[in-house]
Structure formats: structure tokens, C-alpha cells
Structure 1
Amino acid sequence: MMAAINQGDLFVSTSVDPPLRDNRDAMEHPFLSLQKRRTKPISYVNDKVRIDVYAPEKFGIATIWDWDIIIGLASHINDAIEGGISTSPRMSFAPYNLLKTIGRGTGGKDYRELAAAIRRLRMTTVITNVRAEDGAGTERPFSWVSDYAIPTRYTTVLTPEDHQGEADPTRPWIVELPAWLYNAITRRRDILAVHPSYFDLTSGIARALYRLALGHGLARQPGVWNYRIDTLHHRLGVTSSRREFSRAVREIAAADTLPEYTIHIAKKDGHETVTFIRDRGKPPRPRRGVYRP
């Protein structure tokens, strides 16, 4: 039985339809699984960054779809800051409101999936030197959710889907974010605006490509950005072969469903290269939200 979270320093979200925000660091590096039910650890190293991500096989590594929850929480925190409201890494929210924020349904299955995603975010462990300054150079493993409290209601039979008991959507849920992530959200330069249509993307690779383009800064800078397909394959931490990955990217380019961006693939200097273009012809981000204390 999990100990109760201290109610002392608790941010209670009351924002309505907040503008969507996400953390830039998590866009630019392979912290998340792009497939569901991945148990194989993610290990990524380049000349500056080292990342290791793992989780117990029972839960699996947090996915890019699970990350929608972090986008939702970050958006509520940012909206509160915009309204001059004090926030905290420990946040209380109505699960119905969070599901609506991230474009999900609000049926029984949606609440079960929300609870399962929060568990994966809690059980996934990250070791990285990104934002090492937050730990004064000390290696400190963390999870995307430091703690949580999901109220349950009585059920006579436990099922595989509700092995912890049935989550109660009628009472507030509590999630606590780690200092690494909360600090990144509250430092305003480290969060970026997200188009709501991002939640409509069903492909993990398509979601990762959008977030990579957003994190690179194409939303703020004119021009294009080129990436070799083999480098991109490594950068996203995918488990499929490079050939399968290339085929998936070609399908995404042909469908042209990424919000705000268009991508093309062509041979350049003997290498298959993906070109990202900020597409001003696509629908802009709609205005969202009014903070109501």
C-alpha cells in the first residue's frame, strides 16, 4: 500500500483548456519508447549526451503516448504561472479535465489507460547527463513521475486491467513531478508550444519527428533542416531496422499529417536525407484557455 502524498505543498489545477506546452529536452533526445509494450532498455550516447532508460518488464518503458500526460500537466502548470498563481511539483487534478486537455475520451477504458500510463511513467527510470546542472554534477536517476496517488473504489473482482483496484475518476488524482522535469517546465525558455493536432498522430515515429522538429527550433527560425536517415534512426532510439524506419518515414512524408511541418526524403551527397520544412500553409495553433483561479 502506497504511503499518502503530503498535502502541504499541493498545486490544485483549475485551468480550463490550457495552451499546450512541452519540455524541449525531452523532444530532442530518445527518452521514450516509440512503440507500445517495449521492455528493452533505451541506451543513447553521442559526443555530449548520455541517456539510459529502463523499466521492470511487468510495466514496460514509458511511451510517447504516455508522455501526453506530462504535456497536459506541464500545460496546466504553465497556465497557472501565466496567471500569477504559485505552482508545485505536486499537482492535484480532475482526471476528466486532464483527458480532455490531451484530446482523449472519458470512458471507463480511458481512465484505466490513464492510470496505467501514470504507473509506467513512475516505474520508468532515467539516468542522463542532460540538465546535469540541476544535480550539481551528481548522477541522480529519476522517474518521469516521482509519486502519485490514484483513488480507487471498491470492486469485488480484480481483473488484469484493474489489478490495483478500479481507479475512481470522480475524485482528484495526484501526481508529483521530479525536480529535473519541474525545473525545466518552470524555466520558461525550456518549454515550447504544441499544436493540438499532435495528439491525433497515431504513429510513434510521426510523433517523434514532430517533436524533434519543434525542439530544433523550426517554429522560431525560417528555413529548412536536414537530417541523414541513419543519424535520425539512431537519434530516435527506434528498435526497427534502418530499412523499416526509412519506409515508415517515407509513409509519413507521403501522408503529410504532421502539424506545422512538412518532411521530404531524398538522396543528398550519397546519403538518404530527411528535410524538415516549417509549413506556413498548414493550420496554425488555435488560441486556447483562460485561467480561472
Structure 2
Amino acid sequence: MRPPDRSQSERAKLAVFRAIPGTLAPRDAQDLMAFPFFSLSKTVRTVPIDFRTPDVTIRVEATGEYGMATIWDADVLIWAASQIVEARDAGRCTSRLMVATPHEILAFIGRGDSARDYERLEAAFDRLQSITIKTSLRHAGAGQLHRFSWINEWKRHTTREGRARVVELILPDWFYQAVLDDALVLTIDPAYFRLTGGMERWLYRLVRKHGGRQRSGWKFDFHVLHLKSASLSPYRRFAFELRAIVQRQPLPGYRLAVERTMDGREILTFSRDKLSTSPCGQTVSPSVLSGTPEPAKAVTSGTAKPCLCEQKSPNRDIESEGYDALNLESNLKDSNFKDVGTPPDLWITPGEGR
């Protein structure tokens, strides 16, 4: 007897969410910004990411055929999160089953429209679908783990000429519920998509997650950053690249600096760039900082239903929709990696003078 077709049964239970056309504010999931889930290199990585603290376990495994999903592949998830939040705020139904044209996705993430761009997008779908993640994040009970892939499945519909007409993506419930939770999504600068280096992209997301609009800025020890990146580069190489990023100042909306402690340790500091006044979405040079002074909007709480049709809550005005509020929540959680067993002399707290 043939086993039941689980993919078809899952598809049958999900409403179809047609992507919203036009320009949307990019949103990113905070869990993906704060923890290592992606390869920072364009070369194929098959070595698993194995990140463990007393409170958090993350294991990302790749296949030999496709390799690890990269931080450039994560642009697809940023597109998906942006679509879901935009629809939710407009009172529209959302679903884990998303339908869009490849052109819509490519345009949102700042890619071209050539045949090569379409091929790379499909390769990203393959990597996002083929890897598996096992994590304890957002599970309160001890020993609870959730295993999933970034895309449960994807499907391409083509024209008679063989050109891609639309694609269907089914997102995992772990990611979908995080996006519906208004405390777990942050708006990012569209200039992020123009960052070309994997470390630059990873660092921007980490800085955006922890820095917010902290008036006193934030600090991380270089060794802590190396651990949080899950990079395969030796520490010396990682530190060299980090210093080079600080020298270039490519991160939109943030000013980076390096401090050296009395015992010779290097500390990365970052804060909002007060001189940054460029409107959100304006084309900028990689060496010029830009900002997004867009006011915050009210957003709704999440729901466990497959199709969300809730109205916006008038009593929730939080940072997840803009840069105006302080990112105080990150002060109290994993911000300085204190739960990873790092010696106390490596802990750096925001605004702490050394």
C-alpha cells in the first residue's frame, strides 16, 4: 500500500497567500539576526553549524549535493517575512503557502532579471529546502527541540515557452510563527541588500538586532563575535576581516569602532550614526551610511491559525516596525553571549567603559 502523500495533505490544508506587489519595507526575524543559521561564504559549506549554550541549541546540517544555505539565500526569508507583516498590518489573510513571481522576489532583494539570476534564485530555494535545522529556540520546556527546513517545499509553474511564471513556497511553522509575533521582527534598511560581503551582512543583522537606537551604543568582544558567527575562518583571519569592515564603515545607519583593552583584547563598538539622514530606500555608496527615520507603526499579535485575519492592535507600538524605539529587550537576553561559558573578563555590556 502506498504511503500517504504528506506534502499534498499539507498543501490542501493551507490557504494560498498571493504576494503583495510593490515596494515594501524589509523585515527580518530577530532569531535569524542574533544566532548562526547560515554560511557566510559563497563557497559550498557542508560542515554543520553546531551552536550550544546552556539555554540555546542550534544544529544546522547541509547535504553534500546543495551545501549550506548562505546568508544571501536568507534574502528569500526576509522577503517572505516582509510580505507576511505587510499583509497582517493591512488586515489581509496570510498563510505559510506563498505564491509569487520570481521577478517580484528578485526585485525586492535587489537582484537582476537575467536567466542567471533566476537560476541562482532556484538554487537558493534548493539550499533552503534541503538543509535541516534542529533548535531549542522559543521552546520553554527543557529538552524540547524543533527540526525543520527553511522551505518545506517549493514548486515552479512555467509557461509554454518554459519560462518561470510563478513559484509556490511552503514556509515552516517555526519561522511563520516567529514572523507573526510582533516582538520577533525588525525593520531593516533596504541598503542591506547592497552589502556584498557575507561578514558585512551578518554583522549588520547582529548590530541591527542588538543596537537598535541605543544612545550609548553596544559592545562585543572579538572572540565573542567569532563564536556567534559560526564562521569556519580561523580567529586571526576573522579579526582581520572585522577590522577591515570597521575601516570601510559599510553598515547602513551604524558607526563602528574598535577599542583595545588594557590587556590587549579588541572590542567592537557600534551605535546609530547621528549624521545619517538618507531616506529609507535611497541608493547609497557602500562607504556611506544611510538611515531610515520612518516612524514606528502599530502591529498585531500572532496567532496559531494557518490564515491570519486579525486587526491591528491600537495598544501595541513597538520597534518591530521602525527604528524609533530603543531595543531594550536585547539588553536582557543573549546580547553579550554570557550564557556560552565565556570567561567573565570577556563580557562587555552596553555603555561599559573599559
**Shift in Å at residue 266 of structure 1?**
2.4
Bigger relative contact order, structure 1 or 2, given CA contacts below 8 A and separation 6+?
A: 1
Residue number in structure 2 paired with 1:160: none
Residue number in structure 2 paired with 1:66: 73
The TM-score with structure 1 as length reference comes to: 0.87
Unmatched runs of 5 consecutive residues or more in structure 1: 156-165, 288-293
One-letter code aligned to 2:74: W
Q: Deviations over 1:246-282 (max 9, x none)?
A: 1101110111111111211221242111111211222
Residue aligned with 2:148, SS: coil
In the alignment, the residues of structure 1 paired with residue 19 and residue 257 of structure 2 have an alpha-carbon distance, to the nearest angstrom, of 41
Residue aligned with 1:197, SS: helix
Q: Does the alignment pair 1:179 with 2:173? A: yes
**Shift in Å at residue 150 of structure 1?**
1.8
**Shift in Å at residue 221 of structure 1?**
2.5
Residue number in structure 2 paired with 1:228: 221
* C-alpha spacing 1:152/1:39, structure 2 compared with 1 (3 Å): farther
The TM-score with structure 2 as length reference comes to: 0.73
One-letter code aligned to 2:185: I
Q: Does the alignment pair 1:26 with 2:19? A: no
In the alignment, the residues of structure 2 paired with residue 267 and residue 254 of structure 1 have an alpha-carbon distance, to the nearest angstrom, of 15
Pick which of 135-144 and 183-192 moved more. 135-144
Find runs of 4+ consecutive structure 1 residues off by over 4 angstroms.
Answer: 2-5, 152-155
Residue number in structure 2 paired with 1:211: 205
Pick which of 274-283 and 195-204 moved more. 274-283
**Shift in Å at residue 285 of structure 1?**
2.2
Q: Deviations over 1:117-142 (max 9, x none)?
A: 01100111001111115x99642310
In the alignment, the residues of structure 1 paired with residue 134 and residue 13 of structure 2 have an alpha-carbon distance, to the nearest angstrom, of 29
One-letter code aligned to 1:190: L
Residue aligned with 1:151, SS: strand
**Shift in Å at residue 215 of structure 1?**
1.2
Q: Does the alignment pair 1:105 with 2:112? A: yes
In the alignment, the residues of structure 2 paired with residue 233 and residue 8 of structure 1 have an alpha-carbon distance, to the nearest angstrom, of 40
In the alignment, the residues of structure 2 paired with residue 13 and residue 93 of structure 1 have an alpha-carbon distance, to the nearest angstrom, of 5
In the alignment, the residues of structure 2 paired with residue 121 and residue 114 of structure 1 have an alpha-carbon distance, to the nearest angstrom, of 11
Alignment equivalent of 1:91, drawn from 67, 89, 98: 98
Unmatched runs of 5 consecutive residues or more in structure 2: 1-5, 277-289, 295-354
* C-alpha spacing 1:3/1:49, structure 2 compared with 1 (3 Å): closer
Residue number in structure 1 paired with 2:23: 17
One-letter code aligned to 2:72: W
Contact 2:213 2:272 survives alignment (8 Å)? no
Residue aligned with 2:45, SS: coil
Residue aligned with 2:191, SS: helix
* C-alpha spacing 1:220/1:35, structure 2 compared with 1 (3 Å): same
One-letter code aligned to 1:32: F
Contact 1:12 1:91 survives alignment (8 Å)? yes
Contact 1:266 1:272 survives alignment (8 Å)? yes
Residue aligned with 1:247, SS: helix
Larger Rg: 2
**Shift in Å at residue 286 of structure 1?**
7.3
The total of aligned residue pairs comes to 273
Contact 1:52 1:126 survives alignment (8 Å)? yes
Residue number in structure 2 paired with 1:239: 232
**Shift in Å at residue 3 of structure 1?**
6.2
Residue number in structure 1 paired with 2:252: 259
Identity level (%): 35
Contact 2:61 2:133 survives alignment (8 Å)? yes
Alignment equivalent of 2:292, drawn from 285, 288, 293: 285
Q: Deviations over 1:156-198 (max 9, x none)?
A: xxxxxxxxxx7x33x2111111111000001111100010110
Q: Does the alignment pair 1:124 with 2:131? A: yes
**Shift in Å at residue 39 of structure 1?**
1.1
* C-alpha spacing 1:19/1:244, structure 2 compared with 1 (3 Å): same
In the alignment, the residues of structure 2 paired with residue 153 and residue 136 of structure 1 have an alpha-carbon distance, to the nearest angstrom, of 50
Q: Deviations over 1:64-86 (max 9, x none)?
A: 00000100111111111111101
**Shift in Å at residue 9 of structure 1?**
1.1
Pick which of 5-14 and 83-92 moved more. 5-14
> What's the C-alpha RMSD, in Å, of the aligned pairs?
2.2
Contact 1:115 1:150 survives alignment (8 Å)? no
One-letter code aligned to 1:77: I
Residue aligned with 2:60, SS: strand
Contact 1:224 1:276 survives alignment (8 Å)? yes
Residue aligned with 2:266, SS: strand
One-letter code aligned to 2:261: K
